[in-house]
Amino acid sequence: MKSARSSTARASKLLTLIVFVGITVLLTWEYRVTRAAQQGMAGRIAHQNEETADMIIKAITRDMRGAQSRILANRDWDAPSPVGSALDMTEPVATTFARYPYPESFFTWQGGNHSMVFFNRATRLPPWMAPPNPVLNSPTALAIDPSIADEVRRRLSPAISAQLRYAVFDMDFAGVPYQVIARITYADPLREHLESVSGFTVNLDWVRHRYFADILSEVKPSASGGLTQDVALFDEHDRTVVGSNSKGPPIAERTFPLLFMDSSDSESDLPPDMEQAQWKLRVSASRDPILLSATRRADTTLVATGLAVILCGLSLMLAHRAVLSSVELAEMRSRFVSSVTHELKTPLANIRALAGTLVRESQVSAEPYKAYPHLLIQEANDLGRLVDNLLAYARITDVTETYSFEAMAAAELVDEALKSFQPRLLEGAISIQVETCQELPFVRADQRAMVLALRNLIDNAIRHVRNNGHIHISTSRADSTVFIRVRDDGSGISAAKLAAVRESIASRSFSPTDGGGLGLAIVSKIVADHGGTLTVDSELGVGTRCTIGFRAC
């Protein structure tokens, strides 16, 4: 039986392990597929972010270089008109202002003591220029040698002395930061004689607050490709210029110099100590609905799969326990049948023998015949006890059955249990000593159940003592606990077998080989239902002691 149970348990464990491995493989595969799909979506969006960033940077840098590469480098600015005919430049300057919003002023200068002429936007006059009086009906406002001119000449001098073709510098005037881009032309190939200087100024405050916001609003819709993207611009100090500082992935970043000219083909003609502030463009698609939906679906799938795996694992554990319980139940039933069969054979055989003798009554002397009825009564009592055990076992395993508790004396329970054992005690020459104290407090017990429990303990003691053996039954009290002890000087139980008996008591199990396992299981259950304790102590060759403890009423 143990081998069959062990084989079934191993098969159940193996099946559970195989299923768990399969579930783990499936979960790993699904996790990888889900994450791969999510990463694929994120990769496509990240690629779109990179393209958007490239397109926006290309549009910004192209526009920032336009005024220098298309206007300032034009030959029309090489030979500026005299001051008297400067009004002839109004139309090309106005056209330039309309095309490129960031130049605040254009200026020309022939060097030396010649005047520096500034062409300013009439709709956005520089902070250093007073409104003209009278107001001219023109897109440009002319200023000759304004207050800014001396500072511009001073900052141009090092580049002219170094014979450079371009001068680029930042300056503050009237509390406003400016960037000045100037082209220097010379009258001779050796650049020894200055011919003219032409350039423009950029109001960096206006650029920060207006220019980049306008150009991004124009470029972003066509560059985003239908994605929901957060586009932000940051200055050299990582302060936000335009947009929000979104750092959610995927992110594309680009840096570019805050320089309103094309330095790629004129790097050798620029001041060597020119410092360029590096600004940063950041494109993020963390709020894109497609990406958010893919992430939510992936997370939902993984959570649902994880819950399914957990439920499946719990189901497997419960199924495994159910299989083990079924095996244990089958084993318990087998042991029950073996135990009951073993217990019933002896009294039935005795009754059969006595009955056969009675049939042959004429051949039996009168004196032995008188003892046969007592023997039949004894065997009938044994059978009755076994039947009571079977009924009790059926009753105590039915959780719907209840006890009828009442206050009783421990001595009364002992006396009632001893009534049916008098013939056996006399026949086997077994002496029994009963020490009960009438002054003990009552205990709360079901009389029928407790008498059955005590009968099982006394019967086990009688069966284990030899002729002329001794059984001692006593009642006592310790604090609020009342004890009933049944002790014999029989063969006792070995340590290994005693451990098995205690295990049987703890599990309410029984075995036909332990000499009363069914009875001990019934006693253990009855005592536990009464809120008491049962202890079994034994020593091989010395005897056994069983103690029942009750709470006093």
Q: 156-173 pLDDT, tens per residue?
A: 999 999 899 889 999 999
206, 223, 168: which is closest to 55 by C-alpha?
Answer: 223
pTM score of the predicted model: 0.51
Q: How many CB atoms lie within 10 A of CB 318?
A: 10
508, 532, 537: which is closest to 520 by C-alpha?
Answer: 508
* Neighbouring-strand partners of residue 170: 179
Token code pair at residue 483: 């004890």
pLDDT attached to residue 38? 66
pLDDT attached to residue 113? 86
φ, ψ of residue 333 to 5 degrees: the values are -65, -45
CA–CA separation, 448 and 443 (whole Å):
14
134, 136, 72: which is closest to 105 by C-alpha?
Answer: 72
143 by Cβ neighbours in 10 Å (0-12 / 13-18 / 19+) ranks as buried
pLDDT attached to residue 29? 79
Task: Kindly provide the b/e burial profile for residues 168-200, where b requires at least 16 CB atoms within 10 angstroms of the residue's own CB.
Answer: bbbeebeebebbbbbbbbbeeeebeebebbbbb
The residues near 382 (Cβ < 8 Å, ≥ 6 apart) are: 346, 347
Average pLDDT of adjacent 10-residue blocks, the chain of 553 residues: 62 74 77 71 76 88 86 62 54 85 92 89 88 69 91 92 90 92 90 90 94 85 65 90 74 90 70 80 74 64 73 74 71 63 64 64 56 64 64 51 82 86 70 84 89 87 82 90 92 78 60 56 84 88 90 86
The alpha carbon dihedral of 122, 126, 127, 128 has a sign of: negative
Q: How many CB atoms lie within 10 A of CB 139?
A: 16
Q: Name the pairing type of β-strands 278-284 and 230-234.
A: antiparallel
Q: First and final CA of the chain: distance in angstroms?
A: 45
Q: Are 97 and 130 in contact (CB under 8 A)?
A: no
pLDDT attached to residue 335? 66
pLDDT attached to residue 482? 92
pLDDT attached to residue 430? 80
pLDDT attached to residue 400? 38
